[in-house]
């Protein structure tokens, strides 16, 4: 009896194998796009939208249901300043690939940059539940934990991302930022340097490499890094406060004319920031332009600085000095008394913005 059934069983097995191989042979929604998507992804990681754009746009119609193409287009739209279309495309990519950790991680990064940490945290957690070794998701998780979590947990997530993906410029940059905020400038400099080597167009990494080595007393190395950062500060990874940082550095170096150019630009870029007026007032004081120093110092006094980059005590001390140089003794005494009696608040270290 078993002999009469065996041929039928063999036929069923062969039929199942044949159907399975047919299904496997059917092209998926991303078939033929893999190489182009990989090239576009590398370009996006480098901030090169000009190269990524034509690669992805060419696939937008032919591979309209490929999550890899859609996530690339979403990142491209975000980089080009079209958040509404980017949001639509990120949502579509997640719907197309609900089990793809990297897709969720890129969506999480988008929402974090849009000021939606709760949504970013949810998507990053989903990504890590799908793949605990997703470096892109670990970077997002590390950034979120840096803002509102146990400090050691943030460092662990970022260090793991660097171990898993040592060629990730963003992982090195974010780990460097965490170390910098903890005043670990030598370690931070190593990671900023690696980020800049991997992504030479990253003005943030170069600028904060300069800040780190400046704090280590390496003025010449800092100057080179600042100048390198300025050369690429019109790209995807620009540092909006680079002129302020470099102008402040030049003032410390006594290069007043150069400092003036950068601090004037910093004021024009950030007219509501206390720190830029405070630094330019110090410059004007050095130049013996006392009325201009007074105007900038008073402007600094009238602006809030929740981050604690320049505290009230510093502004009062500067105003006392400026009014003394102007010969206004009453105002000088007033601010001298304020600088003597104003408490020093708890304040955060200067940080990558």
Cα 219 to Cα 317: distance, rounded to the nearest angstrom: 27
Number of folded domains that form the chain: 2
Structural domain includes residue 246: yes
Q: Are residues 216 and 253 in the same domain?
A: no
Q: Output the DSSP codes for 181-204.
A: HTT-HHHHHHHHHHHHHH-TTBHH
Contact partners, residue 319, CB within 8 Å, separation at least 6: 294, 297, 298, 301, 331, 335
Structural domain includes residue 314: yes
Q: Are residues 345 and 251 in the same domain?
A: yes
At 70, give phi and psi (nearest 5°). Answer: -65, -40
Please, which pLDDT band fits residue 346 given cuts at 50, 70 and 90? low
pLDDT at 151 over 60: yes
Structural domain includes residue 70: no
pLDDT confidence of residue 344: 86
| Cβ pair 299, 291 in contact under 8 A | no
Structural domain includes residue 16: no
Reported as a single tens digit per residue, the pLDDT across 154-170 is 999 999 999 999 999 99
Reported as a single tens digit per residue, the pLDDT across 192-234 is 999 999 999 999 999 999 999 999 999 999 999 999 999 999 9
pLDDT confidence of residue 1: 42
Q: Are residues 267 and 338 in the same domain?
A: yes
Asked which of 185, 200, 229 is the last residue of a domain, the reply is 229
- pTM value is 0.87
Q: Are residues 342 and 291 in the same domain?
A: yes
Q: Are residues 353 and 278 in the same domain?
A: yes
Cα 118 to Cα 144: distance, rounded to the nearest angstrom: 9
Asked which of 197, 229, 261 is the last residue of a domain, the reply is 229
Q: Are residues 300 and 251 in the same domain?
A: yes
Long-range contacts of 179-182 (CB under 8 A, 24+ apart): 179/155, 180/208, 180/211, 180/212, 180/349, 180/351, 180/352, 181/146, 181/348, 181/349, 181/351, 181/352, 182/151, 182/349
Q: What is the CATH number of the domain that holds 259?
A: 1.25.40.10
Structural domain includes residue 17: no
Other CB atoms within a 10 A radius of the CB of residue 291 amount to: 11
pLDDT confidence of residue 5: 47
Structural domain includes residue 123: no
Domain of residue 196 covers 166-229
Asked which of 190, 210, 229 is the last residue of a domain, the reply is 229
Cα 304 to Cα 275: distance, rounded to the nearest angstrom: 10
Mean pLDDT in residue range 100-109: 97
273: left (phi over 0), alpha (psi -120 to 50) or beta: beta
Structural domain includes residue 351: yes
Tokens 């496997």 belong to residue: 24
Q: Could you tell me the maximum CA-CA distance found in the chain, to the nearest angstrom?
A: 117
Q: Are residues 248 and 216 in the same domain?
A: no
Reported as a single tens digit per residue, the pLDDT across 3-52 is 444 455 554 555 456 445 544 445 688 999 999 999 999 999 999 999 99
Helix, strand or coil, per DSSP, at residue 237: strand
Reported as a single tens digit per residue, the pLDDT across 269-291 is 999 999 999 999 999 999 999 99
Cα 284 to Cα 277: distance, rounded to the nearest angstrom: 10
Structural domain includes residue 307: yes
């Amino acid at each position: 009896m078993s002999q009469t059934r065996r041929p039928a069983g063999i036929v069923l097995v062969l039929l199942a194998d044949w159907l399975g191989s047919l299904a496997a042979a059917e092209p998926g929604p991303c078939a033929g796009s893999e190489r182009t998507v990989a090239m576009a992804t590398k370009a996006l990681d480098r901030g090169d939208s000009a190269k990524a754009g034509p690669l992805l746009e060419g696939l937008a119609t032919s591979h309209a249901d490929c999550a890899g193409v859609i996530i690339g287009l979403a990142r491209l739209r975000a980089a080009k300043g079209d958040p509404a279309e980017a949001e639509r495309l990120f949502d579509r990519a997640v719907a197309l690939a609900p089990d793809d950790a990297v897709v969720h991680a890129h969506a999480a990064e988008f929402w974090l940059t849009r000021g939606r940490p709760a949504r970013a945290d949810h998507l990053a957690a989903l990504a890590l539940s799908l793949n605990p070794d997703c470096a892109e998701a670990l970077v997002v998780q590390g950034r979120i934990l840096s803002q509102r979590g146990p400090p050691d947990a943030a460092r662990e997530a970022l260090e793991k991302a660097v171990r898993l993906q040592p060629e990730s410029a963003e992982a090195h940059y974010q780990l460097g930022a965490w170390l910098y905020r903890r005043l670990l400038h030598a370690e931070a400099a190593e990671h900023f340097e690696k980020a800049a080597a991997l992504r030479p167009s990253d003005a943030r990494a170069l600028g904060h490499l300069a800040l780190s080595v400046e704090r280590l007393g390496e003025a010449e190395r800092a100057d080179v890094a600042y100048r390198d950062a300025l050369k690429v500060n019109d790209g995807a990874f620009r540092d909006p406060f680079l002129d302020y940082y470099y102008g402040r550095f030049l003032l410390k170096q006594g290069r007043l004319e150069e400092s003036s150019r950068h601090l004037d630009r910093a004021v024009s870029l950030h007219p509501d920031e206390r720190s830029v007026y405070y630094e330019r007032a110090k410059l004007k004081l050095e130049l013996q332009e006392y009325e201009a120093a007074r105007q900038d110092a008073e402007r600094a006094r009238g602006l809030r600085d929740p981050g604690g980059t320049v505290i009230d005590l510093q502004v009062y001390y500067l105003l006392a000095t400026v009014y003394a140089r102007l010969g206004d003794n009453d105002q000088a005494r007033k601010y001298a008394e304020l600088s003597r009696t104003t408490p020093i608040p708890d304040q955060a270290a200067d940080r990558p913005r």
